[in-house]
Amino acid sequence: MSFLELSHVQKSFGIVKVVHDFNMSINEGEFVSFLGPSGCGKTTILRMIAGFETPTGGKITIGGIDQSGLKPNRRNIGMVFQAYALFPNMNVFENVAFGLKIAGKTKPEIEKRVKEMLDLIHLGHLADRYPYQMSGGQQQRVALARALAGQPKVLLLDEPLSALDAKIRVSLREEIRLIQRKLGITTIFVTHDQEEALSISDRIVVMNAGIADQIGTPSEIYNAPSTRFVAGFVGTLNIMTAGIENHEGRAVRLGGKTITLAQPLGKPGDDGKVSLALRPEAVSLHPTGNSDVAIDGRVINVSFLGSVIRTRLDVEGQTMSFDTFNNPGLKPPAIGDTVTAHFKSSDVLVIPG
């Protein structure tokens, strides 16, 4: 049986239903990310696990114990907030020691544990500092140490990196993952940043309008999105429609070419066409050993993104983007040029619905 179980969890605020029948099992020590746009219900689920919101329906169990009716201070859950939430009147030591004092630990126990925690986040030398004397990244690390000090059963992270600058975000997310692996604590991480979710999670829950659209490993989510929303939300994706030539034979017509797909076509849309998705990195300007499709298109935009150059083509009225590595020796195509895009038919995904 899983460690953290969410069964048919629902939540409404008045007449607005923000979480619809959410089901998920999380194993002990697993790192799960809730990914989705603002207002999709990901934070509401986290807050229900923490006990700050009461589910309208369903059940949440942790370690087999039903959490219904348990107040947040009785759940033994560590939480890290987007706004750090360090107590401004307490220094780093006192902040980390707060939960331990509440739990009635002795002074030597508290000192030992706080030191361990501060060493874990490499901030032992800042024990006497107050929150306002530290950077955002340091404050969030202290918040993490404070949440972990009481050895909680579950660690909840509510967009902990959103308020930090890009470089700190990357280093801190790696640090969070490292600490989580070291302690083996079951962790739920809420984010709207797909790169964050893909880089540190064991599994990702992609949420849309209160529903879990897809639950899977980062690789499954990225390479095999199960809905159009997931396909569009996670990574950059070319979504195109294609006419069906042979439904059973999986043959479609795209860019004047017939392509035989690896995936079954599923149910066509009302217009009798299917939606196809193709990652920009799956397309190249030159044929590769595996590419079996070549489509001509007219260049309509070229964007320099640093390490890569993103080129947008017009393929019979539909837009297809592809990325090429920035090579100073090679001139990128110019707007108005006609180029041939090469890709593998097996890289083309059929998007349901």
* Residue 137 lies near other proteins (rule: CB under 8 A): no
Task: Kindly tell me which of 146 and 342 has the beta carbon lying closer to other proteins.
Answer: 146
SS3 132: helix
User: Token pair of 191, please?
Assistant: 């984010």
- Least distance in angstroms from the C-beta of 163 to other proteins: 12
CA angle, 273 then 275 then 276, to 5°: 125
What's the min distance (Å) between Cβ of 145 and other proteins? 12
> Residue 218 in contact with residue 205, Cβ under 8 Å?
no
User: What is the rounded CA–CA span in Å between residue 113 and residue 96?
Assistant: 9
Q: How far apart are CA 259 and CA 262, in angstroms?
A: 10
Length of the chain in residues, anyone?
353
d(CA 63, CA 106) in angstroms, rounded, equals: 27
Supply angle C-alpha 72, 56, 44, rounded to 5.
55
- Binding of residue 162 to other proteins (CB under 8 A): no
- Contact with other proteins (CB under 8 A) among 98, 189, 229, 233: 98
Task: In angstroms, give the least distance from the CB of 102 to other proteins.
Answer: 4
Question: What torsion do the CA atoms of 72, 73, 76, 77 make, to the nearest 10 degrees?
Answer: 40
Residues 246, 260: Cα–Cα separation, whole Å: 9
Is 225 an interacting residue with respect to other proteins (CB under 8 A)? no
Exactly one of 21, 58, 85, 340 binds other proteins (CB under 8 A); which one?
85
Residue 303, SS3 per DSSP: strand
User: Which of 36, 55, 78, 255 touches other proteins by CB under 8 A?
Assistant: 78
77 binds other proteins (CB under 8 A): yes
Give the position of tokens 């108005």.
336
Give dist(CA 196, CA 24) in Å, integer: 21
Total number of residues that touch other proteins (CB under 8 A): 33
Find the part of the chain contacting other proteins (CB under 8 A) among 143-151, 179-187, 193-201, 314-322.
143-151
Interactions with other proteins, residue window 5-64 (CB under 8 A) = 50-52
- Output 16 or 305, the one with its CB closest to other proteins: 16
300 binds other proteins per the rule CB under 8 A: no
Told to check if 144 binds other proteins by CB under 8 A, we report no
User: 150, 160, 235, 297: which one contacts other proteins (CB under 8 A)?
Assistant: 150
Q: Which residues bind other proteins (CB under 8 A)?
A: 50-52, 71-79, 81, 83, 85-91, 98-99, 102-103, 130-133, 143, 146-147, 150
